[in-house]
Amino acid sequence: MAEFNQSEILGSVFDTTSRYVNVRPVGLGAFSLVCSAYDLVRGRAVAIKKLSNPFATATHAKHTYREIKLLKQLRHENLIGLCDVYISPRTDVYIITELLSTDLGRLLEAGPLEPQFIQYFAYQILRGLKYLHSARVVHRDLKPSNLVIDENCDLKICDFGLSRPYDHRMTGYISTRYYRAPEVMLTWQRYGVEMDIWSAGCVIAEMFNGKPLFPGQDPISQFYLILDVLGNPSDKFISRICTSNTIEIIRSLERRQPRPLETVIQNLDDC
């Protein structure tokens, strides 16, 4: 049986086997803690993601199983690679993956990117999504912090905690607000890979502008920001909304005309 070393990181107990040393915090989320470490067996740096209380409920257990299964099955240059998985004596699950030096969110803190980097990152995002969608998997939480980048500017999509196979019956209020597709906000009964394409478009626009394209403070303001750019939705779009109250509200909105992209996204001509 493997021996575990216990440490306290950001107020959380973090258990690692003896093969992992130099453990340092990288990021903290609502349900996980991510640390960097050095793998003595593989001789390289790795990322260790702790899933807290992964078996607390059937839903938690299902999400844990789904994330590990997808990481194990999906192999692509633009998707993060799984190295190992273990369960600690406290029954927390630890997922070990490749470690890249930064993420797109951190790069964007400095402002807009240069055109050549936008082109290369956009290409890699779409290339990774093409593979993911060809496997009938929807990421469901594409955002700058889930796009990790190494010193060679190679990009990988990470964090498959909300991902799931596409079965035409997906529901639920997922993805981070700024990158959330309208159909998700309006609680359609069915949505699919298109929501990832919307999120990718928002990320690409953010690379040009250096700030989120639709920085809504809540779902309502988020939807109005989208309307200000794209105009009122078509009847075909409205027909797919589930609730009659929502349909009535949208039909009663003041008419808005779509704006040219070049007035919304800066320096488009440079690419």
pLDDT in tens, 126-174: 999 999 999 999 999 999 999 999 999 999 999 998 888 886 556 555 6
User: What's the total number of domains in the chain?
Assistant: 2
Single out the residue in 79, 98, 117 at which a domain terminates.
98
Check which CATH number belongs to the domain holding 193 and give it: 1.10.510.10
Which amino acid is it at 122?
A
pLDDT at 30: 65
Residue 89 near residue 4 (C-beta atoms within 8 A): yes
- State pTM to two decimals: 0.90
Which amino acid is it at 97?
T
Domain range holding 256? 102-270
**pLDDT mean over 181-208:** 87
Residues 123 and 171 in one domain: yes
Give the lowest-confidence range in 36-45, 85-94, 170-179: 170-179
Which amino acid is it at 52?
S
**pLDDT mean over 197-204:** 97
Residues 134 and 251 in one domain: yes
Residue 250: band (very low, low, confident or very high) from pLDDT cuts 50, 70, 90: confident
Residues 247 and 168 in one domain: yes
Distances from the Cα of 185 to the Cαs of 61, 138, 169, 201, 229, in angstroms?
A: 26, 17, 16, 17, 17
pLDDT at 41: 95
**pLDDT mean over 106-123:** 94
Residues 16 and 44 in one domain: yes
Residue carrying the six token digits 């290409």: 123
| Of 215, 213, 174, residue with least CA distance to 191 | 174
Residues 73 and 136 in one domain: no
Residue 85: band (very low, low, confident or very high) from pLDDT cuts 50, 70, 90: very high
Residues 92 and 107 in one domain: no
Cα gap 70→158, rounded to integer Å: 11
Positions at the binding site:
50
Single out the residue in 50, 69, 98 at which a domain terminates.
98
Cα gap 201→214, rounded to integer Å: 11
Residue 155 near residue 166 (C-beta atoms within 8 A): no
Positions at the binding site for ATP:
50
Residues 120 and 63 in one domain: no
Residues 118 and 12 in one domain: no
Across the chain, mean pLDDT equals 89
Following DSSP, what letter does each residue of the chain receive, concatenated? ---EEEEEETTEEEEEETTEEEEEEEEE-SSEEEEEEEETTTTEEEEEEEESSTTSSHHHHHHHHHHHHHHHH---TTBPPEEEEEE-TT--EEEEEE--SEEHHHHHTT-PPPHHHHHHHHHHHHHHHHHHHHTTEE-----GGGEEE-TT--EEE---TT-EE--S---S--S-GGG--HHHHTT-S---THHHHHHHHHHHHHHHHSS-SS--SSHHHHHHHHHHHH-SPPHHHHTT-S-HHHHHHHHTSPP-PPPPGGGTSTTGGG-
Of 201 and 240, the structure prediction assigns the larger pLDDT to 201
Single out the residue in 78, 98, 118 at which a domain terminates.
98
Active site residues: 141
Check which CATH number belongs to the domain holding 31 and give it: 3.30.200.20
pLDDT in tens, 69-84: 999 999 999 999 999 9
Residues 245 and 202 in one domain: yes
**pLDDT mean over 258-271:** 84
pLDDT at 1: 58
pLDDT over 80 at 110, yes or no: yes
Residues 131 and 250 in one domain: yes
pLDDT at 243: 72
Residues 76 and 138 in one domain: no
Residues 170 and 233 in one domain: yes
